[in-house]
Structure formats: structure tokens, C-alpha cells
């Protein structure tokens, strides 16, 4: 019978490169991470230990209630007095939970963090009630900085917003190991630890990217520019399997996931405008059709029209991510926009909407609050609303349908760049 690796049956450090150890913890029973993420088989909190001829570095720690397992694994390999450096690639509590206790046990160790991590570190290490200040020594590092452990060197890559402002990666040059923080991680708990031994974790890897890294695609691309030139033998992320078998493919996969697929579909610099609507008596639907026709007057604007009643949220989120402008048509029912509109507008947290154009329209019976409510939500999502929304009381007449065409035309004209942006805008005119 094949002898399987099983780190759950002991509490030792696991060496995976010369003098490089995994000292993390398994959390197999976790089913929801950070309120929002499903974790079908739990997760791991990966912490690492690097031994050099002149001292030891600990890279990241674990969630606080897994401290025992982390300290046991650490103690199996080093004395606390040998720890010279503590590198924190990401300060979220699932990686810094054991930090205060580690600092108590290894008071001589110096902290190495990114520039953006300082205020977070101070907020995490707040002094006890009886003390005014909490003194600790830290050094901020940037791309190009490194620390020496004697016969080996840890160098730093500044990779902000993956997925917090403070995030960075650390690279062990001599062994070509990239300690990547949450990048290339996933919530997947397997006692076999390495990507070539664990079960099929592709779903977990992609799911993690989609929920954690996707809103920061441009930052992923920036980070890849630093990571891709490195020689990489192993990637050691803070969650999920250590990637030692063909690690480069995960880097390539990140680039694929972060690259626009729409740009391959449309010609030149054409813009895309999507109109979503709901309609109970067909009035908002008629408006939507006219808005669409008006917007379609421009050759360089590709218009899509969707009835939300006939679709599901998730694929629409994919469409929205790559669209340049979004228009929502909703009737007003009891003073509000209808639920499918809100369902879609509340599902956009995984994508970046900043700077997209938005607009709203709809038919109403009494009061018509839906349109301004949708506009407010879009402004809250950092979208720009170039054209005031359009409301029609009950059935649109010819004049009102013409206004719908004009509304679509005007939004599309801003998108196509035909409507010249004013050189200087007055603050009072901004909405």
C-alpha cells in the first residue's frame, strides 16, 4: 500500500526545501471563511520557517486559535532564541493571530512588513489597558530590499492590494521558493500538503481567485510583472497546498484569469453598453428597447439588452465586469426598485466598477423612486452617472419613447467619446 504523507497525525515541522519548513496548521472543519466564502473541506493557515547560517526567519503565522499547533511545529525545529526575523506578508488576523504570542516568545526577533502595513500592525498590536504604548521594532521593506540569513537571502516584492493594501511576497533566492501570501492560495485543507499529492483542488483555487483577487485584477497584473521573471521551484502560499510540482502553471493561470476575454471578442477600441431591465406590464420593457435603439446609433458602441427575468446573476456579473456602461430599467413597486435589480447590484463586490458609466430609467405608477435609488447605488459603487435618469408615468407615449431614444443616444455618445468632455467642470455640476 502506498505510504501517504499525513501532516495531521503529527505536530512536527515539514521540510520541503533545504532548511525550509512548513509550520502551519490545518483547519479541516471550517465551512465558512470570513463570513463570505464557502470552504467545502476547510482551509490551512500556512506559516513557514527558513533556516540560515546566521539566524532563522518565520514567514507569517496562523489564526489565533491554531497557535498551539503552530508553536509545536516551530519548536520541533528551532529554539525561539534563534528566530532573528519575522516576515509578515499579509496582516489579516488569520495570518497574524499567533503573532503577539510569537513576539513574547521571541522578543529579539525583528518584524519585516510592507510600507502600507504599519498602521494595521499598530492596530493589531494595541497596548494592554494599563500601558500607554506598545513598543515593538519593525522595518518596512519594498521591492529590491532583502535580508540576509547568512548563507541565504530573503528578498521582498511589493505587491499591494492582493488582496489588502499591505500585501507583499517574499522570495528565497537560493532555493527559488516564493512565499506568496494569499496570492496563489486557496481554501483547501488536505493533510498531504503538496499540490502533487492532494486531491483535485482546481475548483478551490479558481473560487478563491474569483472572490479574493478578482476585484484587484490590475494589481494582479502588476504583481505578475515582478513574479514572472523569477526562477520558481516552489510557491508557498498562506492557504492551501504548497505548489511544488510545475509551479509556473499557477502563475500562468493567474495571468489568464486576470486577462480580459472581451477584448478578444470586440474589434478595435469599441465600447460595450449593457441594458438590464425588469418589466411588469411591458412599459419599462418598451422603454428599454428604445434606449437600446438610441444607444445603437454609434458604430463603435456594442449594445446588449437583457431582461433580468430570463437570466441568472452570476453570468451577468461576468458581463458587467467587462462592460463600459450599464443601464438599469426598473419599475417602481411600493416605492422601491424591484428585487432582481437589487440582487444584481448587490452581487458586484467581486468586481471593480470604478469609472464605468451608469444610468437608470423606468416606468412607474405613483411616485417613481426606483430610478434615483438605482442611481444612488451606482454612485456608491463609484460609477459615473453622465445622464440624469428617465422616468415615465405608466405607459410611455411617442414623445416619451423619443426621450428614451435620446437618453440611450446621450449615454452612448459619452461612451463613444463623441460628446466632448468639458475642459473644466464646475464642482456644482457634478452629481
Partner 1 sequence: MAKGKITFEDIEQTVNVPAGTRIIEVSEKIGAGIIYGCREGDCGTCITHVTEGWNNLTEPSVLEEKVLKENMASRHDRLACQAQVLGDCKVKPA
Stated as kind and residue range, the H or E segment containing 69 is helix 67-75
Q: In the bound complex, what is the minimum distance in angstroms from residue 429's beta carbon to partner 1?
A: 9
CB atoms closer than 10 angstroms to residue 126: 11
Q: Which is nearer to partner 1, 358 or 408 (CB)?
A: 358
Grid coordinates standing for 253? 493561470
Q: In the bound complex, what is the minimum distance in angstroms from residue 427's beta carbon to partner 1?
A: 4
Beta strands in 229-345 (DSSP E): 234-237, 271-277, 301-307, 325-329
**Phi, psi values for residue 329, rounded to 5°:** -110, 125
Q: Hey, which residues between 135 and 174 contact partner 1 (CB under 8 A)?
A: 140, 142, 165
Q: In the bound complex, what is the minimum distance in angstroms from residue 321's beta carbon to partner 1?
A: 17
231 near partner 1, rule: CB under 8 A: no
Q: Where are the alpha helices (DSSP H) in 276-418?
A: 283-295, 313-322, 339-345, 370-380, 398-416
Q: Which is nearer to partner 1, 69 or 166 (CB)?
A: 166
Q: Which is nearer to partner 1, 287 or 323 (CB)?
A: 323
Binding-site member from 65, 108, 115, 304 for partner 1 (CB under 8 A):
115
Grid coordinates standing for 79? 529554539
Beta carbons of 370 and 342 less than 8 angstroms apart:
no
Binding-site member from 11, 248, 384, 419 for partner 1 (CB under 8 A):
384
128 near partner 1, rule: CB under 8 A: no
Task: Tell me whether strands 357-364 and 325-329 are parallel, antiparallel or unpaired.
Answer: parallel
Binding-site member from 133, 200, 399, 426 for partner 1 (CB under 8 A):
426
Q: In the bound complex, what is the minimum distance in angstroms from residue 368's beta carbon to partner 1?
A: 24
Binding-site member from 86, 111, 186, 383 for partner 1 (CB under 8 A):
383
4 near partner 1, rule: CB under 8 A: no
Q: Hey, which residues between 314 and 373 contact partner 1 (CB under 8 A)?
A: 354-355
Q: Which residues contact 248 (CB under 8 A, 6 or more apart)?
A: 232
Q: In the bound complex, what is the minimum distance in angstroms from residue 353's beta carbon to partner 1?
A: 10
Sort 11 into a burial class: Cβ within 10 Å, 0-12 / 13-18 / 19+. middle
Q: Hey, which residues between 20 and 39 contact partner 1 (CB under 8 A)?
A: none
425 near partner 1, rule: CB under 8 A: yes
Grid coordinates standing for 283? 412599459
382 near partner 1, rule: CB under 8 A: yes
DSSP type of residue 349: T
Cα dihedral 227/229/235/239 (nearest 10): 10
Beta carbons of 146 and 153 less than 8 angstroms apart:
yes
Q: Which is nearer to partner 1, 104 or 431 (CB)?
A: 431
CA 121 – CA 90 distance, rounded (Å): 10
427 near partner 1, rule: CB under 8 A: yes
Binding-site member from 76, 105, 118, 311 for partner 1 (CB under 8 A):
118
423 near partner 1, rule: CB under 8 A: yes
Interface positions with partner 1 (CB under 8 A):
115-116, 118-119, 140, 142, 165, 354-355, 382-384, 421, 423-427, 430-431
Amino acid at each position: 500500500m502506498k505510504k501517504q504523507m499525513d501532516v495531521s497525525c503529527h505536530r512536527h515541522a515539514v521540510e520541503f526545501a533545504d532548511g525550509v519548513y512548513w509550520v502551519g496548521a490545518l483547519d479541516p472543519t471550517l465551512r465558512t471563511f470570513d463570513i463570505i466564502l464557502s470552504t467545502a473541506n476547510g482551509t490551512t493557515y500556512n506559516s513557514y520557517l527558513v533556516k540560515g547560517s546566521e539566524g532563522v526567519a518565520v514567514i507569517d503565522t496562523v489564526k489565533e486559535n491554531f497557535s498551539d499547533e503552530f508553536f509545536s511545529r516551530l519548536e520541533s525545529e528551532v529554539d525561539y532564541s534563534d528566530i532573528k526575523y519575522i516576515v509578515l506578508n499579509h496582516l489579516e488576523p488569520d495570518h497574524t493571530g499567533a503573532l503577539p504570542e510569537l513576539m513574547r516568545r521571541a522578543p529579539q526577533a525583528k518584524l519585516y512588513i510592507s510600507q502600507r502595513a504599519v498602521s494595521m500592525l499598530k492596530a493589531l498590536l494595541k497596548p494592554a489597558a494599563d500601558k500607554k504604548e506598545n513598543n515593538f521594532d519593525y522595518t518596512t521593506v519594498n521591492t529590491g530590499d532583502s535580508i540576509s540569513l547568512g548563507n541565504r537571502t530573503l528578498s521582498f516584492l511589493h505587491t499591494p492590494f492582493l488582496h489588502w493594501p499591505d500585501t507583499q511576497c517574499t522570495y528565497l533566492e537560493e532555493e527559488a521558493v516564493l512565499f506568496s501570501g494569499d496570492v496563489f492560495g486557496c481554501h483547501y485543507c488536505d493533510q498531504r500538503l503538496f499540490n502533487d499529492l492532494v486531491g483535485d483542488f482546481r475548483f478551490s483555487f479558481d473560487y478563491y481567485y474569483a472572490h479574493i483577487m478578482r476585484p484587484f485584477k490590475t494589481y494582479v497584473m502588476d504583481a505578475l510583472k515582478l513574479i514572472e521573471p523569477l526562477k520558481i521551484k516552489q510557491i508557498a502560499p498562506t492557504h492551501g497546498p504548497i505548489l511544488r510540482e510545475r509551479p509556473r502553471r499557477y502563475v500562468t493561470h493567474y495571468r489568464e484569469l486576470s486577462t480580459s476575454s472581451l477584448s478578444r471578442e470586440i474589434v478595435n477600441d469599441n465600447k460595450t453598453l449593457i441594458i438590464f431591465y425588469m418589466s411588469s406590464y411591458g412599459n419599462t420593457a418598451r422603454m428599454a428597447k428604445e434606449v437600446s435603439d438610441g444607444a445603437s446609433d454609434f458604430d463603435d458602441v456594442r449594445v446588449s439588452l437583457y431582461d433580468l427575468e430570463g437570466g441568472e446573476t452570476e453570468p451577468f456579473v461576468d458581463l458587467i465586469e467587462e462592460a463600459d456602461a450599464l443601464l438599469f430599467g426598473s419599475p417602481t413597486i411600493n416605492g422601491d426598485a424591484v428585487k432582481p435589480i437589487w440582487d444584481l447590484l448587490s452581487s458586484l463586490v467581486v468586481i471593480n466598477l470604478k469609472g464605468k458609466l451608469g444610468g437608470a430609467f423606468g416606468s412607474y405608477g405613483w411616485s417613481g423612486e426606483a430610478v434615483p435609488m438605482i442611481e444612488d447605488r451606482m454612485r456608491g459603487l463609484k460609477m459615473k452617472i453622465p445622464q440624469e435618469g428617465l422616468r415615465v408615468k405608466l405607459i410611455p407615449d411617442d414623445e416619451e419613447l423619443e426621450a428614451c431614444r435620446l437618453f440611450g443616444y446621450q449615454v452612448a455618445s459619452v461612451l463613444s467619446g463623441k460628446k466632448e468632455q468639458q475642459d473644466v467642470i464646475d464642482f456644482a455640476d457634478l452629481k
